[in-house]
Amino acid sequence: MTQNSFHRLGSLLSGITAGILACAAPVLALDVRVNPSNPQLGDTISVFIEVDNPGDRPQVTMGDRAFPAFPLRSNLYRAFIPTTPLDRPGSLNIKVSGDGETRNLALALRDRSFNTQRIRVSGGGNGATQIELDRVAAFKALVTPEKFWNGPLLKPTSGGVSTVFGVLRYYNGVFANDYYHRGVDYAAGTGTPVIAPAAGRIALVGRESQGFKIHGNTVGIDHGQGVLSIMLHLSRIDVREGEMVRAGQRIGAVGSTGSATGPHLHWGLYVDGVAIDPVPWRFEGLE
């Protein structure tokens, strides 16, 4: 056998050996990706998990909190992780388990600058009633398996933004440590229509006359899978609890009921019970 023949034989054997080793190498069944890959405070983080076994619902945790994963198709699941202005920027450690495997992801959460307001208040007796606290808390805890929204959310009323998400406040010179503005305020005249930003089920109707002293006339929409909208200070309510609404359907009108200095709509968007920035949901959509 010539020297060239030996070289060709050696190359052939090397290729066969590499192929055998590649086949023998373990194939990772759990494929995980996140979006956005560089989130900032207030963002909703989507965790997409692809599994080989469609019946094996993955588990997603961060610290001591678990986040439900819902199927997008037979072998693809998604979980939402909400972040807020009160979170500490830095490394997030996300644990994903499924298909008999566990992945540990380290994701950097970027800092973000939020506006600060200084407000002076006087007098007392303006606290929320127990009935509104209990009913709103029960609404924010909803996590239903169905997904009703589709694509970017709609602007819920006309008029300009008067207060953005995440504003921090000093009250009478004292910084409110656990406070941030949990939504977006739109300045509009009394009676201006308010629409559903996405399809869903009306899961909360509360009225000032029923004890909603701070929230005023209120409508809460369950968009499914832990995504919720709450509309405050309405002058009128045009829907009933349990009713299904479509995106763009009128649900009420702008007002100044409850604790409001003038007519405006407060729209809060919640994910897994946490108020998050609605802006990415409106202009980009979280699909």
In this predicted model, which residue has the larger pLDDT, 112 or 13?
112
CA dist., res. 23 & res. 7, Å (int): 24
239, amino acid identity = V
In this predicted model, which residue has the larger pLDDT, 163 or 4?
163
Q: Has residue 146 got a pLDDT over 50?
A: yes
Average pLDDT over residues 230-250: 98
Q: Has residue 23 got a pLDDT over 60?
A: no
Exposure b/e, 144-160, CB count within 10 A at least 16 = b: beebbbeebbebbbebe
What is the pTM for the complete model shown?
Answer: 0.86
Average pLDDT over residues 29-44: 93
Q: What is the pLDDT of residues 38-67, one digit of tens each?
A: 999 999 999 999 998 877 889 999 999 999
Q: Has residue 242 got a pLDDT over 50?
A: yes
E strand or H helix at 171: strand 168-171
In this predicted model, which residue has the larger pLDDT, 265 or 11?
265
